[in-house]
Amino acid sequence: MITLEHIYWIMGLLAGGVAIVNLRDHTNPKRYNNAIFWGLYALTFLIGSRLPHFANGCLVIGMVLVASIGKLGQGAGESTTREQREASAARWGNRLFIPALTIPAVTLLGTFVLKGAQLHGVPLVDQKQITSISLGLATVVALAVGMVMLRPPALAPLHEARRLWDSVGWAAVLPQMLASLGALFAVAGVGKVVAGLAERWIPLGSPLVAVVTYTVGMALFTMIMGNAFAAFPVMTAGIGLPLIVARFGGDVVVMASVGMLSGFCGTLMTPMAANYNIVPAVLLELPDEYAVIKAQIPTALILLTVNTFIMYLFVYRRA
């Protein structure tokens, strides 16, 4: 049976390959630092589930020390020249989007096809993680499609992954770390503290106010944490489940899905989401490092308002 662990192994092999490519890149003055950082990251995927929590914590602390004290750098090597990339882009045109569009297409297909699929009476994939597994498999399929279409050097994907990861740096692992932080906050009872503060200052006696508090709270907490996955367990444990679901009988599926979308609205408006909002500005060499955020704020506010109305309209509606 294919489980999420197998997807972790694929990710670990990629991170390990990036570490090896960095180690062999003599044009990068920080190649040892990069190799250690991505090597530790690879270990969290390859053997993290078999290590005690303390050991995993030590791996993360090691990554933090390397990134903060030793710093990360970039090499000058590229798998192809600029002229080759421009010629390839002119040749393929919009067909270059085919590998990228393969990912959502295969993910959607896998979500439906793999549901209930069995081999010798055993589920083919873990039924609790169908969407995540389908996404992981879709990226492998998209890679194969891209290799067949473009026929680059065999190691080009690994070199390009290294180039992209080194450009983004430590921010590449920020979503995963913040999601873990959100889980820790939930275990520590931060959700109950948030609920207590909300009940003290906000009149939560109506279903509408509960919805507004939850959606806006998801956006605001996401802006503070920098990631909706970190805000979700806290706001859901503090507001979503006890009020919208338990007190007013709301649909937990609608609450959770629209709540995450509300959190993503906060992602668009915060520099804490550095990998989404600050890194692109740096890579594009924009004169204003907050230009991306400023451009996204109006859209984010409109989406947050729409999400709030959608949740209120459907979360309390029972079939």
**Is residue 203 assigned to a domain?**
yes
Residues spanned by the domain of 290:
189-314
Q: Which of 137, 152, 167 is the last residue of a domain?
A: 152
| 45-65 pLDDT tens trace | 999 889 998 998 899 899 989
Residue 144 reports pLDDT greater than 90: yes
Do 91 and 145 fall into the same domain? yes
What's the pLDDT at 77? 63
What's the pLDDT at 20? 94
**Is residue 132 assigned to a domain?**
yes
What's the pLDDT at 307? 96
Do 229 and 307 fall into the same domain? yes
| 24-36 pLDDT tens trace | 888 888 889 999 9
**Is residue 38 assigned to a domain?**
no
C-alpha R_g of the chain: 22
Strands (E), the chain: 118-119, 122-123
Poorest-confidence range of 38-52, 168-182, 189-203? 189-203
Residue 143 reports pLDDT greater than 80: yes
How many secondary structure helices (H) and strands (E) does the chain include? 15, 2
Do 212 and 148 fall into the same domain? no
Q: What are phi and psi of 11, to 5 degrees?
A: -65, -40
What's the pLDDT at 319? 45
Written as six digits, the tokens of 228 are 């909706």
Residue-by-residue DSSP string for 47-97 = TGGGS-HHHHHHHHHHHHHIIIII--------SS-HHHHHHHHHHHGGGGH
Q: Which of 194, 185, 207 is nearest to 255 (CA)?
A: 207
**Is residue 181 assigned to a domain?**
no
**Is residue 219 assigned to a domain?**
yes
Residue 163: CB atoms within 10 A of its CB come to 18
Q: Reduce the DSSP state of residue 303 to 3 states and report it.
A: helix
Span 68-88, average pLDDT: 76
**Is residue 253 assigned to a domain?**
yes
Do 197 and 136 fall into the same domain? no
Do 287 and 225 fall into the same domain? yes
Span 143-157, average pLDDT: 89
pTM for the model stands at 0.74
What's the pLDDT at 25? 86
User: Is the CB of residue 266 less than 8 Å from the CB of residue 218?
Assistant: yes
Do 134 and 200 fall into the same domain? no
**Is residue 287 assigned to a domain?**
yes
Q: What total number of domains does the chain contain?
A: 2
